[in-house]
Amino acid sequence: MSLSIGIIGAGRMGRHHHSAITNYGAQVIAVHDIQLEAAQELASLADTEVGTDVLSEFFDIEMDGVVITTPPPIRLEPIRIACERGIPMMVEKPPALNIVDGSKCLEYILNADVIAAVGFQLRYHPLYEKLKTLIANQTIHLVRTVCTINYYLTFQMPTWFLQSEISGGPLAEQAVHVLDCARYVMGNPKPAQAHALTVKNMALDRTEFDAENAIQMTYELDNGVFGTHMNHCGTEEFCFDVEVVGPHLRLQANMADNAIRGYLNGEKIDEPANPKNSIDLDKTGAWLRAIETGDRTLIRSPYIDALETLTLIDAAIKSRNTGKFIRVEEL
């Protein structure tokens, strides 16, 4: 019998999850969105009659899991209700708007003991799984990440992506992916402190947008690794790039090239990513398989660990242009 899944948030991520759920062999049986038309449109695509803008009506339907793709400020209530009903959940990134909200959500999740995954898809990408394997027994001293995207050139994105009050800004909406990936490939060290320099010097006539377009960030992890992150959301070409440096290695994993290049222990490395990861499941499939089997180890980004990445984001956001590092313990 196939799993029955509900989706909260009928935007492009909701549609993406509908496709992934269907491809897995499960079915979407209910959709919620604050825009009734959007909910009904995705419900029609999913061939279900339940498309609603009333959260209580959505949760009246029996379901095996719920995907939450709302903007970050709208997470507490659906997570609370899902936990009250013991429903496993997949929460899109970031796990919450800030660590205060995230901690409240985690309390609900731990008390209910439900399966709760966060949608950090790079943890399932074969490229970064391969990088993680290559450096598993190596000493790393430095990590560098880069994220570029064209939002301030094309404006082909939901408006709220560039509104900091809703998205958290580029650090929470974009950088979070590769910063989380850096933690993943090194075995999930916890953030210790962070600092960021930021500026909005593009599209100055678009007063509805306040998110920075250029960010340079420096941070420290509790395994002694120092990291830097460069983010720009007004650049022509998309890039996710992770580079690690140690005494006997320098390896760069670039998603655009889908390859790892550099050197390791005296040998040149120039290898494409594997076609599939070792579990042959993406983030949605791993979550659905965990619901079916009860095997939570399939989930590479449980909510409790995703909050560690959120502390790194929160510290950087609070430090912006102050000239000071913010320690995670101060959050």
Rounded-to-integer distance, Cα 53 and Cα 208, Å: 26
CB 107 within 8 A of CB 201: no
**pLDDT at position 296, please?**
97
Residue 70, pLDDT above cutoff 80: yes
The b/e string for 187-214 (b: 16+ C-beta within 10 A; e otherwise) is ebbebbbbbbbbebebbeeeeebebbbb
**pLDDT, greater one: 295 or 330:** 295
Express each pLDDT in 74-95 by its tens digit: 999 999 999 999 999 999 999 9
Neighbours of 61 (CB within 10 A): 15
Mean pLDDT of 309-319: 97
Please give the mean pLDDT across all residues of the chain. Answer: 97
**pLDDT at position 330, please?**
87
Express each pLDDT in 164-210 by its tens digit: 999 999 999 999 999 999 999 999 999 999 999 999 999 999 999 99
Residue 155, pLDDT above cutoff 80: yes
Express each pLDDT in 280-308 by its tens digit: 999 999 999 999 999 999 999 999 999 99
**pLDDT at position 1, please?**
74
**pLDDT at position 72, please?**
95
**pLDDT at position 331, please?**
85
Q: DSSP per residue over 246-263, as a string? A: ETTEEEEEETTTTEEEEE
Mean pLDDT of 100-128: 98
Q: How confident is the model at residue 270 (pLDDT cuts 50, 70, 90)?
A: very high
Share of the chain above pLDDT 90, in %: 98
